[in-house]
Amino acid sequence: MTAVRDAVEPAPAGLAVPPFAVVPGAQVRQALDGREREIVDLVEATYRLHGAGQSVNPPSYFLRFPDRPTARIIALPASIGGAVRVDGLKWISSFPQNIDAGIPRASAVLILNDHDTGYPFACLEASVISATRTAASAALAADRLSRGRPRPTRIGFVGTGLIARYVHSYLARTGWSFDAVGVHDLSPDSAAGFRGYLERSGATGTVTVHDSAEELIRGSDLIVFATVASRPHVTDRSWFGHGPLVLHVSLRDLAPEILLDATNVVDDVEHCLKADTSPHLTEQLTGSRDFLAGTLDDVMAGRVTVPAGRTVVFSPFGLGVLDIAVGDFVYREVARTGQLHVVEDFFSELSRHG
Ligand SMILES: NC(=O)c1ccc[n+]([C@@H]2O[C@H](COP(=O)([O-])OP(=O)(O)OC[C@H]3O[C@@H](n4cnc5c(N)ncnc54)[C@H](O)[C@@H]3O)[C@@H](O)[C@H]2O)c1
């Protein structure tokens, strides 16, 4: 296919309409496979840019439906400055009932926009990009937040769908190995499916499926929450008496009492204290944000120190800038290998006066 760029006369300022490409999921997966350490570094660099104010990341917009109360579609627009200079939007659906039909809960596209003209130049399948940036952020947090304590060796997953699989895979591919892997899910099918994934992946450690979250939490020093719970279902502070590191990816599992006993780290304060997340409920309960230690960027920059021996909870709201950064990586990788599917004449009304 020919590039639209070649067919269009440059505007007086030297600007031109870029070609528009569609990047299917198979290409996204190929571009990301084996690149886990680079992606964790990219996510770290993006958090640092965001922390330095070199991004625009407005609040996510939640589209909800009176006739489908469990469903939602979220728009995450974002812009990355610095040397990256790319804008875009992730548009991601969550339809939990899909699971009963045997198809994934979440589906998504990512649009990338050209920095200079504003033109959209790519539409990428983004469920993989979203899961990847979430897992890379979790792996980064696991590393950074465990530096002042013995490295965890017993991991437990509460909620074992796609995100749990990506988080485990990112940890395993960035150097983590475990003596024990705990699994707990309300759905026995999900727990069995995740166990099957662990066995096929050659993961280290004895796998135990737990009937209760309590048993799993008490027996793990690194706990990943990846459920679809809409309100807290873990309320007993004594389960966390051993001071584990908690990656609270699903954001709404823990009661405020648990957070008030912990060192709390988020990705972005304004984002995370919204939409009835556990940190949001904790702010509502206490009337203050004093329970927050800071952001992961604060920890990476040494502005916040995480005490050893106390529960640490990382609650990442999930920033659109991460999707844009990973999507831009994928786009450049597919372009570099000469495999971009450009849609010819996607923008066709290019002369103002005809
Ligand atoms: N913070 C972020 O950046 C971010 C990014 C992506 C996804 N997420 C969240 O991660 C979560 C998991 O996503 P997914 O795609 O893996 O979903 P999924 O539907 O594939 O899996 C969720 C699993 O959680 C189980 N579950 C639900 N309630 C539970 C409970 N109370 N206890 C134990 N298990 C329970 C379900 O049975 C299911 O197996 C979602 O809440 C999603 O919104 C967060």
Give the tokens for residue 107: 């589906």
**Looking at the predicted structure, is the pLDDT value of residue 228 above 80?**
yes
Residue range 129-155: mean pLDDT, rounded: 97
pTM (2 decimals)? 0.95
Confidence tier at 217 by pLDDT (50, 70, 90): very high
Q: Which residue has the tokens 């899961």?
A: 131
Task: For residue 283, give the nearest of 262, 306, 256 by alpha carbon.
Answer: 256
pLDDT digits (tens, 9 = 90+) for 37-72: 999 999 999 999 999 999 999 999 999 999 999 999
Q: In ligand 1, which atom is closest to the CA atom of 253?
A: 31
What are the Cα distances from residue 219, in Å, to 162, 226, 249?
23, 18, 19
Return the percentage of the chain with pLDDT > 70, whole number.
Answer: 96
Q: How does residue 112 score in pLDDT terms, banded at 50, 70 and 90?
A: very high
> What pLDDT, on the 0 to 100 scale, is given for residue 12?
52
Whether the pLDDT of residue 7 is over 80: the answer is no
Q: What share of the chain is helix, strand, coil (3-state, %, to 5)?
A: 35, 25, 40
- Per-chain mean pLDDT for the chain: 95
Distance CA 182, CA 224 (A): 10
Ligand 1 pocket, residue 107 CB under 6 Å: no
Can you give the pLDDT at residue 84?
A: 87
Assign 1 a pLDDT band (cuts: 50, 70, 90). very low
Measure the CA–CA gap between 194 and 196, rounded to whole angstroms. 5
The string of pLDDT tens digits covering residues 275-333 is 999 999 999 999 999 999 999 999 999 999 999 999 999 999 999 999 999 999 999 99
Residue 8, pLDDT > 80, answer no
Q: Which atom of ligand 1 is nearest to the CA of 189?
A: 39
With a 6 Å cutoff on the Cβ, whether 57 touches ligand 1 is: no
Q: How far is the CA of 162 from the centre of ligand 1 (A)?
A: 8
Q: Which ligand 1 atom minimizes the distance to the CA of 317?
A: 1
